[in-house]
Structures are given as C-alpha cells and as structure tokens.
Structure 1
Amino acid sequence: MESFLKHLNVFSLVLFFFALPISSALQVGFYSSSCPNTENIVRQVVQQRFNADKSVAPALLRMFFHDCFIRGCDASILIDSTTTNQAEKAAGANGSVREYALIDQIKTALEQACPQKVSCADIIALATRDAVSLSGGPMYSVPTGRLDGTISRASEVNLPGPASTVSQIQQAFSARKMTLNDMVILVGGGHSIGRAHCNFFQDRVFNFQGTSKPDPTMDKNLLTKLQNLCSLTFNPATFLDQNTTVVLDNEVYNQMKKNKGILQIDQELALDPLSASIVSSLAANNKLFRQSFVNSMIKMGNLPGTGGEIRKNCRRQN
C-alpha cells in the first residue's frame, strides 16, 4: 500500500487536523472556568527552565511518550516507588526520563492558584507542548481534562528501544491505534532535538550485530566522529540531529537520508521500504512535518488513560 503521506497535500493535512477525534473527556480550554490561568502558569515555569537548559524540551517529549505508551496519558510515570510497589519510573526503559522536579514545580504553582483542579497528566501534556514551541516547533492547542492514574507498575513498562526494527515499533504503535505515519513522525520528530549517549549506539560504530565491524550503512565521516567520541571512557553523548541540533524541525529526516542517523532505528526509518517514502516526504517539506507532528502529538495525547483522580502531589496517589 502506498504511503498515506505520499498523496496527502498540505491543505488536506490542515483539514485532517481540525477533524481529529478528541476523547469526550477532553476539550481545549477545559480549565477556562475552574483555573483560567493554567496554561499561562505552565508556560511561565517551562520558559524559565528552558532559558536555563534547552535540553528540557527533549526530556519532556520523552516523558510524554513514555507516560502515554503504558496506561494512556495518566501521569502514572510520575508516581514514586514504595516498599511494596516498583513504579513505572523504576523500569530500566525509564532510567533516562527526567525533569520530574519541573513537573513538581508546575504543580506547586497551580496548587497555589487553584487547589486540586489541574491534573498532573494535563501538566505533562501542556508542558511538552510549550517545550516543543520554545524549541522552534509548532504551537498548538492541547485538549485537556485528563485524570491522574492510581496504578503504576514497573512490570508493565514494555517500550521499543533504539535497536528495534521499523516493523517492531510499528506494531507497538498499532497496538495503541496509531499508524505507521504517526510512528515515523513521532520517532523522527522526537529525535529532532536531544542527545544520545554512546551506550545506545556504540555497537553500530564498533561491533554491529556481532560482526566486529561498524554498521556499513553509516556515513563514513560520521562513523569516524562517533568512533573517536565513544573511545572515551565516560560514556559521552552526541546530538541526534547533527545539523539543527536544538531546533525541532524536519532536518533529522534529511540526516537519515544521508545515512547520518545516530540510533539504529533512525537509520532504519530511511532504509526500510515500510517507512522510506514517509521519511522522504517529511525531509522535503518542513511545513508538512510541522502539521503532521501536531496531528500525531494530539493523537498520542488522546490515548485514553485509566485515571480517576486529580493528585495533590504528582508523585503519589491521593
């Protein structure tokens, strides 16, 4: 089947955006009466943090994805472990998730303004949107009204990794009623900003699939650069997009097409027949990427959660 994006023009994408289904529990401006300054408060705190450290943007994107992928968007990733329960954040796949303190800071500010009105799940969604915008990505309206979950188990965390195949990650997205296009847009877009440490890709540069040789598909200049980097002993990191490193745009897809994907999955997106045409479409048109990214982010944010309360403290159930 030919790629959906191959035939989808910009005008139809705009129509698709306005036709996106929103969960009946969610609506844009949900807090307009109960806590009318919600979005301003969130943005002010995120702006302050972003000014100090631009890596907050990829960190929040990662938190958003990892939360929504397990029990839907219910902030279950924020719950701390106890002596009787290992929570989601204790799972190995969530070891690199950070900025929990930023969510706490936003929650504290909102509790002072409107006690127990704004859910932690909505804080993650709004903060992620603001971080995307501050990184040069699109600003978009976020439907809100999510409730916070009361269950968080590390044993339930099963996320695709950087060495997963396109087919494997597509299956993970399909299980959540998201398409191949959503997968390419969100994986690529999420890797448009941020960095990866050598331990996530050093097999590609030294011992690809146990061959004792580097990945033959990698650009030779990039390979030399990464081999030198990863020969250091402190597990250094490099930007996933080697060009517009801190700007959320479509350049990462152009890097993929030049065999400059850092993570194996990034390079596979450009090489696999399932996704190659989508990568080409997004690489050629940043406006298409921006509109597609908004559509897929909203779709991800609409994954139904199992929440049933508004937590007073995002780190524990009421």
Structure 2
Amino acid sequence: MSALNLKLSLLLLLCCVIGGINVSAQLSPTFYAKTCPLALATIKASVISAVLKEARMGASLLRLHFHDCFVQGCDASILLDDTATFTGEKTAFPNVNSLRGYEVIDSIKSKLEILCPGVVSCADIVAVAARDSVFALGGPTWRVPLGRRDSTSASLSSANSDLPAPFLDLNALIAAFAKKGFTAEEMVALSGAHTIGKSQCTNFRTRIYNDTNIDSTFAKTLQGNCPSVGGDSNLANFDTTTPNLFDNAYFKNLLSKKGLLHSDQQLFNGGSTDSQVTAYSRNLGSFRVDFANAMVKMGNLSPLTGSNGQIRTNCRKVN
C-alpha cells in the first residue's frame, strides 16, 4: 500500500470512528427505557409533590436547569458544592442566595439510586424536573432528550459572565443568548419563563425607582416592599396577575409596562422584539409551542455523553 493510500485509509477510519461517536452521543427520550424504566415517573411524582407544597418551587427548578445549561452546558455543574479544594458555581453572583431546589434534586436522586444505582445522571434529573415543573403549573410539556452525563468540573467565572443579568438592555440580552446559539426569537420565548416565580428586591430596585418605562402604580406598589435602601431579599412576583400559572400573562404585563426586571421590559420597549411580545400576549398556543421547542434546544447545550463525565452518586459532589 502506498503512503498516500495508507493516509487515505487512516483518514477514512478516523472519520468512521468520529462518526460513530457522534451517533452514539445523540440524546434520546427513551434512553432509560430499559435501564431504569421508572425514572421519568419517579421524577414527575417528586416534582408534583414539591410544587404542591410550594408553587414557587416549580419556577425554582426551571431556573436551576437554565443556570446549569448556560454554564459549561447541561452537565449538572450547578449542583456541585464548594469544598476546601474545589470551587463550584453556587456562589456566583447570579446564583448565591438565589437559586433554590437543590434539596428536591437530592431527594429525586436518592430515590433513583435505590431503583437503579448509578444509572440516571443528575443532569438528566434537572432537565426532566424543569419540564415537569412547567407542566405542573399548567404549562406545555415536551419530550426531553436523555443521556446526559455529569461533569467533574464547574466554572465560577463562566457563571458570573454567561448568565444574563437583570439590568441588561435588549441588545445585550440578544448577544448573551446568541453566545449560546439562540436567536432573538428564542430568547423572547425563553424569557416567558418569568410568567412564574419571584425575584429579589436587589434585582429590580433600580427599575422601580429609576426607569421611566414603568407603570407608576405598579412601581409604587413594588416600592412598598422594596425600599430604596435595605430589604434586598424581599420578594415580588414576576407576574402579579397569575403568579402560579404558566400562561402568557407575562407578555400581557409587558404591554402595560409592568415588567418586573429592567431586562423584562426591554423586550417591549420600542425595539425589535415588540411584535413578538404582542403576538404572544394574544396567542397562548404560539408561546407554548415556541417555549417548548426552545427548552429542548437549551437542554441540548453541550451535554456530556458516552464515556465523558460520570454518573454522580451524590449530585453535590464528584464520585
């Protein structure tokens, strides 16, 4: 065999190997059908129980998935606790004293480790719990591709830089989502997650005292629970009309200049996304479909598959 033919043969073999890896790395909604057939039912029952105890937990579990996927991909890096020799993402500015739901994920993981030890990843639990939380609060459902594995690393710096801040203007929001491969339209759809949940005073204080594109009565009401100084952790609903229902009221509120965060109201402020906000405010079905599709795309952000990463026994620490 000539040197050229040998090189071509090796190149073809390499392509086949890489191709095989790519094929095997594809996530699948039926990934646990044989290895842990009760996995999805177990997660769903636990999520419904948690949401029934506290409706806000649904929004918290959804947000946990978002904050996980935007940093290193959907790899459960957000769940890792700090240790003397390891720094996780929980103390990042967007996460510290803000992210919730870790105990719900721990509980689910414990149940699954009894059912099928070492099989279901923490990353998949977070992804499915987000879906089930939305559905539990009246929102859409979608098939969650599964087969993610858990990271053995985390990135505090990426958590601080890659998660969109509540004070961003529209162009900065579009850029932050574009960095992760999302269109401006998908960014608006995903922002609709703020139709449920709450935010801390520190995140919207500047808006209710300084912004001009805000309903004055709405601002004054919020100021009653968010003073200009102090009360940083006091909470307000993103949606004051149906705070525990996953609907399109978030977009209706934006039309009335009642977006809680500066970044919320930026979606309807004379810019390129105004028409989409208006459309969603009038058509719940359109929002539901677009949100579900965007969530599937988000769940596909750089997952670890195959032999990469691990299946953590305890979601809070590397095996």
Does TM-score exceed 0.5, indicating one fold? yes
Give unmatched runs, 5+ long, in structure 2: 1-22
Using the alignment, how far apart are the partners of 1:114 and 1:85 within structure 2?
Answer: 28
Using the alignment, how far apart are the partners of 2:91 and 2:158 within structure 1?
Answer: 11
Aligned to 1:212: none
Using the alignment, how far apart are the partners of 1:268 and 1:169 within structure 2?
Answer: 9
Using the alignment, how far apart are the partners of 2:43 and 2:283 within structure 1?
Answer: 31
Which entry has the higher C-alpha Rg, 1 or 2? 2
Using the alignment, how far apart are the partners of 1:131 and 1:84 within structure 2?
Answer: 34
Counterpart mapping for 1:104-119 below 5 A: 104-119=106-121
Using the alignment, how far apart are the partners of 1:148 and 1:108 within structure 2?
Answer: 16
> Alignment partner of 2:48: what SS?
helix
Aligned to 1:312: 313
Using the alignment, how far apart are the partners of 2:133 and 2:253 within structure 1?
Answer: 23
Report the Cα offset of residue 244 of structure 1: 1.2
Report the Cα offset of residue 24 of structure 1: 4.5
RMSD of aligned alpha carbons: 1.6
1:230-264 CA distance string (max 9 Å, x none) = 23953421111111111111110010011111110
Report the Cα offset of residue 23 of structure 1: 9.3
| 1:202 counterpart = 2:208 | no
1:201-237 CA distance string (max 9 Å, x none) = 111222x2xxxxxx22111210221122223953421
Q: Which amino acid aligns with 1:279?
A: V
Aligned to 2:20: none
Q: 1:263 aligns with which of 253, 261, 264?
A: 261
Q: Is the 1:219–1:258 Cα contact (8 Å) retained in structure 2? A: yes
> Alignment partner of 2:199: what SS?
strand
TM-score, with length taken from structure 2: 0.87
Structure 1, 292-301 or 237-246: larger mean CA deviation? 237-246
> Alignment partner of 1:244: what SS?
coil
In structure 2, the CA distance between the partners of 1:272 and 1:160, relative to structure 1 (3 Å rule), is: farther
Q: Is the 1:57–1:135 Cα contact (8 Å) retained in structure 2? A: yes
Using the alignment, how far apart are the partners of 1:23 and 1:198 within structure 2?
Answer: 46
Aligned to 2:241: 243
Aligned to 1:60: 61
In structure 2, the CA distance between the partners of 1:73 and 1:23, relative to structure 1 (3 Å rule), is: farther
Q: Which amino acid aligns with 1:162?
A: P
Q: Is the 1:160–1:169 Cα contact (8 Å) retained in structure 2? A: yes
| 1:26 counterpart = 2:31 | no
Using the alignment, how far apart are the partners of 1:288 and 1:23 within structure 2?
Answer: 33
TM-score, with length taken from structure 1: 0.87
> Alignment partner of 2:236: what SS?
strand
Q: Is the 1:64–1:128 Cα contact (8 Å) retained in structure 2? A: yes
Using the alignment, how far apart are the partners of 1:155 and 1:183 within structure 2?
Answer: 22
Q: 2:166 aligns with which of 157, 162, 167?
A: 162
Report the Cα offset of residue 195 of structure 1: 1.0
| Identity value in percent | 39
Give unmatched runs, 5+ long, in structure 1: 1-21, 209-214
> Alignment partner of 1:291: what SS?
helix
Q: Which amino acid aligns with 2:80?
A: I
Report the Cα offset of residue 305 of structure 1: 2.6
> Alignment partner of 1:122: what SS?
helix
Report the Cα offset of residue 169 of structure 1: 1.6
Report the Cα offset of residue 164 of structure 1: 0.7
Using the alignment, how far apart are the partners of 1:25 and 1:202 within structure 2?
Answer: 44
